[in-house]
């Protein structure tokens, strides 16, 4: 496996991987939890939203980066991050690993790669967010294994 910078030709695979990774959250977790009224307005176009987002994630001139885990020419995972140099702050905005590689420590390797890049650019701390629901339990375990500190937070929705 090699970890390399994202290239424009990677975008279709990143989109596919993102939809495969986060589809179960949106359709099987979030939608049943909040109902169709809130879901439709909050994340009803989640696939299209990711397509739009992914096209903007890799912009090194603005300290935004994407790295992919390439195994024999196939992207098995990726991580997107940005750095705010004025605050010496790095933020991982997205991490996705193909289901067939989730126990192969790709998430760890992608995060460590990102941390190294952030340090080299002058960041002194990193922020990573994830959900508190059952779907995100593996992500929370990964981030805690990397020494990240979990802050309690709550987000509430209600139909009016």
CATH number, domain of 15, equals 3.40.630.30
CA distance 28 to 5: 32
For 48-76, what is each residue's pLDDT tens digit?
A: 999 999 999 999 999 999 999 999 999 99
In a domain, 94, yes or no: yes
Report the domain count for the chain. Answer: 1
Position 153 in a domain: no
**Within a domain: 152:** no
Report if residue 57 sits inside a domain.
yes
Instruction: Count other C-beta atoms under 10 Å from residue 73's C-beta.
Output: 5
User: For residue range 96-141, what is the model confidence (pLDDT) as tens digits?
Assistant: 999 999 889 999 999 999 999 999 999 999 999 999 989 999 999 9
Range of the domain at 129: 2-145
Look at residue 158 and tell me if it is in a domain: no
Cα-Cα end-to-end distance for the chain = 50
- Asked if the structure places residue 101 within a domain, the reply is yes
Q: Is residue 121 part of a domain?
A: yes
pTM for the predicted model, two decimal places? 0.93
Of 109, 111, 139, the residue nearest 21 (C-alpha): 139
């Amino acid at each position: 496996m090699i970890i390399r910078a994202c290239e424009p030709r990677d975008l279709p695979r990143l989109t596919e991987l993102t939809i495969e990774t986060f589809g179960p959250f949106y359709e099987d977790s979030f939608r049943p939890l909040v109902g169709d009224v809130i879901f439709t307005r909050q994340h009803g176009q989640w696939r299209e939203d990711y397509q739009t987002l992914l096209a903007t994630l890799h912009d090194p001139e603005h300290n935004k980066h994407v790295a992919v885990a390439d195994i024999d020419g196939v992207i098995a995972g990726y991580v997107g991050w940005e750095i705010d140099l004025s605050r010496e702050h790095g933020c991982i905005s997205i991490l996705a690993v193909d289901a067939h590689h989730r126990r192969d420590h790709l998430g760890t390797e992608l995060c460590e790669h990102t941390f190294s890049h952030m340090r080299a650019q002058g960041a002194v701390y990193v922020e990573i967010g994830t959900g508190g629901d059952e779907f995100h339990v593996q992500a929370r375990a990964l981030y805690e294994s990397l020494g990240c500190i979990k802050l309690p937070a709550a987000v509430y929705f209600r139909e009016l």
